[in-house]
Amino acid sequence: MPTHTAAEQVFFKDPAMDRLMGVTMALATEVYVLRDRLRALESLLAQQGTVDLQSLNQEVDPEALAPHQADRDAFVAHLLSPLLGKESSLGVQP
Amino acid sequence: MSTANARAFSAAQDFLLGAKKFWTTQMYPQLREQNQAPTIGTASPVDERVQDNDLYPFYAWMERHLQRMKYAGRYGLVPWHDTQRPALEAALAPVEVPTVPHFAVPDYYPSFDVHQHPGGLMGDSLAGFVYERGARSTTPLDKHFDLHHRFTRQVSAVTSPQRILDVGCGFGKSTRPFAQQFAQAQVTATDLSMPCLKLARHLDAQENITHVRYLQADACATGLKAGGYDLVTSTMLLHELPTTHLAELFVQAHRLLEPGGWTVHLDFLPQVQPGCDDFTDFIHAGHAVRNNEPYMQSLAAFDLRGHLQSLGFTDIGITPFAENDHALDPSYPYWRFPWAVVQARKPM
């Protein structure tokens, strides 16, 4: 966490963009850390014969994906529904 | 043994380095292309031109915050080294570096966190380790350590010193190449930061370098013997000094040199770079602010040649320095520091 009270430098016309960039880059770093971890796990498991990387990397048959479509749709809705700008609960209208 | 996740730390740092490489090789060239000043007519100043540029805020943000994320936050260098504290402090425990008499830390030095390094270079016993690790990824295209050897080879074409003083030596990154290039020379190296000096000695021992004497001293008030050196040098120190200290540094260099000795400094001067224009200056000035380097601009504005002449130096040279074989090509597309060498001789 920041330890100083002075305001951070601002580069965008809307300072909110500066802060959102910070959140985005922090998430991107976490994604890369997870990718690295996954790669390491897969490599170890392949060395031990637990997984076959060639099979793992094959395109998934549409029939195999079908059971996961609801999960996919829920993920997308969770990610993108804020773009619609609608309330999730009944608020007090200004 | 620490249970901290070294893999996550190194992966995050690697991601940040990759982002810095993108910034260096993709964002900067595009920004430069979009802001090329017209050669005729009534061109608006570059700081006005960037106001309407969509890329510039992202460019500036990335420069500021990739450095912030490198040093601070969950995967930052400072918190990471803190997880290794017992082992790192134990490594430096037997190392002793003397302090010169009447040593005092100048007021400006601890008044801001240089390079966005929380606590600066004196604020913590591990500051040297943090600085050293950070220096490994200062520039994503060139191995930053190589340029020191390029610099010492360039110095060797000018002089063959026997008594070298390297001021502002940090953790010895500039000193070791001098000690290796001039293996028969007596080398003295000074810095304000004791954590850096202790690490310098520690790293010297690992490389079997035994002929460097490290001292905690202000480069502008070393108290060392007048005329005791035939080379007074620094690397990336000049831009760290307020103007009064910058001026005094060369006064001291003149005092410390024997007649015929050289003072040679590697630093940043945008105005001597091939193809320098208002965009070059603007980018450099912005870097100074974004990287917590308050005296970079005062160095760029300082009349180095006039000051050296007024002190009686001769053979003054202020020239661009190539950190790689292509860096001084005017068409070199990528972001780079405006490296320059300042050299002068004390008359016989």
Ramachandran sector of residue B167 (left: φ over 0; alpha: ψ -120 to 50; beta: rest): beta
Rounded CA-CA distance A76/B204 in Å is 55
ipTM at complex level: 0.81
B337 SS3 class: coil
- A11 Cβ under 8 Å from any chain B Cβ: yes
The alpha carbons of chain A give a radius of gyration, in whole angstroms, of 21
Residue with tokens 């005791």: B228
- A82 Cβ under 8 Å from any chain B Cβ: no
Rounded CA-CA distance A43/B29 in Å is 37
Q: Determine which of B16, B59, B61 to mutate to test the interface with A (most A C-beta atoms within 10 Å).
A: B61
Nearest to B65 among A22, A32, A40 (CB): A22
Find out whether B169 and B175 touch, Cβ atoms under 8 Å: yes
Q: pLDDT value at position B1?
A: 44
Annotate B19-33 with DSSP letters as a single string: HHHHIIIIIHHHHHH
Longest CA–CA separation in chain B, Å:
66
Rounded CA-CA distance B104/B91 in Å is 26
Residue contact B61–A33, C-beta within 8 A? no
- A33 Cβ under 8 Å from any chain B Cβ: yes
> Counting one residue from A and one from B, how many pairs have CB atoms under 8 Å apart?
51
Domains contained in chain B, number: 1
Tell whether B270 is covered by a domain. Answer: yes
B66 vs A contacts (CB less than 8 Å):
25
What CATH number should be reported for the domain holding residue B175?
A: 3.40.50.150
Averaged in consecutive runs of 10 residues, what is the pLDDT profile of chain B (348 residues)? 78 94 94 74 75 91 96 95 97 98 96 95 96 92 81 97 98 97 97 98 96 97 97 98 98 98 98 92 96 96 98 98 93 95 97
Side-chain half-sphere exposure of A7, counting CA atoms within 13 A: 6
Q: pLDDT value at position B43?
A: 64
Q: pLDDT value at position B44?
A: 76
**B115 φ, ψ (degrees, to nearest 5):** 60, 15
Q: Determine which of A1, A32, A34, A37 to mutate to test the interface with B (most B C-beta atoms within 10 Å).
A: A32
Q: pLDDT value at position A6?
A: 86
Rounded CA-CA distance B194/B171 in Å is 9
Find out whether B191 and B172 touch, Cβ atoms under 8 Å: no
Q: pLDDT value at position B145?
A: 63
**What does each C-alpha distance from B82 to B71, B144, B147 come to in angstroms?**
12, 25, 30
Query: Strand pairing of B339-345 and B229-235?
Result: unpaired
Nearest to B69 among A2, A29, A37 (CB): A29
B19 vs A contacts (CB less than 8 Å):
25
Residue in chain B nearest A41 by alpha carbon: B7
Residue in chain A nearest B17 by alpha carbon: A29
B289 to chain A, minimum CA–CA distance in Å?
9
Tell whether B35 is covered by a domain. Answer: no
A14 vs B contacts (CB less than 8 Å):
none
Look up the domain containing B341 and give its range: 146-345
Rounded CA-CA distance B142/B339 in Å is 13
**What does each C-alpha distance from A31 to A56, B63, B195 come to in angstroms?**
20, 21, 34
A53 to chain B, minimum CA–CA distance in Å?
22
Rounded CA-CA distance B337/B339 in Å is 6
> Reading across the β-sheet that carries B257-268, which strands appear in turn?
B212-216, B186-191, B163-167, B229-235, B257-268, B339-345, B314-320
Residue contact B57–A17, C-beta within 8 A? yes
Count Cβ atoms below 10 Å from residue A39 Cβ, excluding itself: 11
A23 vs B contacts (CB less than 8 Å):
none
Rounded CA-CA distance B348/B342 in Å is 19
Rounded CA-CA distance B13/B245 in Å is 35
Tell whether B36 is covered by a domain. Answer: no
Residue with tokens 């770093």: A29
Tell whether B4 is covered by a domain. Answer: no
Instruction: Count the residues in chain A.
Output: 94
DSSP letter at A8 equals P
Nearest to B7 among A3, A26, A40 (CB): A40
B118, B124, B125, B131: CA torsion to nearest 10: 20
Query: Strand pairing of B339-345 and B314-320?
Result: antiparallel
Residue ranges, chain A, pLDDT below 50:
none
- B61 Cβ under 8 Å from any chain A Cβ: yes
Tell whether B34 is covered by a domain. Answer: no
DSSP letter at B221 equals B
Residue contact A37–B7, C-beta within 8 A? yes
Tell whether B90 is covered by a domain. Answer: no
Chain centroid to Cα B221, Å, comes to 20
Nearest to B8 among A11, A12, A33 (CB): A33
User: Where are chain A's structural domains?
Assistant: 12-55
Tell whether B17 is covered by a domain. Answer: no
Count Cβ atoms below 10 Å from residue B190 Cβ, excluding itself: 24
- B93 Cβ under 8 Å from any chain A Cβ: no
